[in-house]
Homo-oligomer: A and B are copies of this chain.
Amino acid sequence: MTDQSTRRLNETNRVEAFSDGVFSIAITLLVLELAIPATQGDFLNDLVGEWVSYIAYLASFASIGVLWMGHHTVFTRIAGVDSGLLWRNLVLLLTVSVLPFPTAVIASAYRVGTSADQATAVVAYGLVWMASGVAWFLLIGYLARNPHLHDPAADPRFFRLTEPLVTLVGYGIAAAIGWFVSPAIALAIFLVFPILYVVRVRSQAG
């Protein structure tokens, strides 16, 4: 029995497995929102004409990927989970799961909508990521207040609130630009934001 229990994964692993499931499904479901051409003789035009969908797809894929990397970085440095961490994690996963929806709204707004529709769509997208920033802030804040959940070997700088705040403020600014200035600029920010993040992490960590 001792032997068997030694081989069991601890609870942290199961939370990670469930979270990884949600992250990997949300990131893969994004593809279902890409429009499949069905007009005889127009496939090339239709595919090329959907370029905004591809940008929205790439932005969402990259952002979920970056958030997964952050989640991974934090959860490999904790030693236990409690119910307070579990529900905060669920709220974060909610914002990840829902992301294919505003991504599809952006694609639809650029396919059939007016520029007001496009502004609505990028604001909806920005709001979901702002909610994600808040959820991430709550989760990291909870970990910062509960050092007994940390792996004793973990560097506490992994539980700082800078990243969630940057997410919250960055997507807030992008949404405001999308509404008051231009949806296209907001869209460009949505794509560049996660790429900049990867570049910064690389320059820090090699």
Which residues of A pack against B, CB within 8 Å? 1, 4-18, 20-34, 36-44, 47, 57-58, 61-62, 65, 68-69, 72, 75-76, 79-80, 82-84, 86-87, 90, 93-94, 97-101, 104-105, 108-109, 111-114, 116-117, 120-121, 124, 151-153, 198, 201-202, 205-206
A112 touches B18 (CB 8 A): no
**Given A41-B116, A82-B206, A83-B202: A7 touches B4 (CB 8 Å cut-off):** no
- Quickly give the copy total for this chain: 4
Q: Considering the chains assembled together, what is the distance between the CA atoms of A24 and B15 in angstroms?
A: 11
Contacts of A80 in B (CB 8 A): 4
**Given A17-B17, A20-B18: A84 touches B206 (CB 8 Å cut-off):** yes
**Given A7-B6, A36-B108: A79 touches B21 (CB 8 Å cut-off):** no
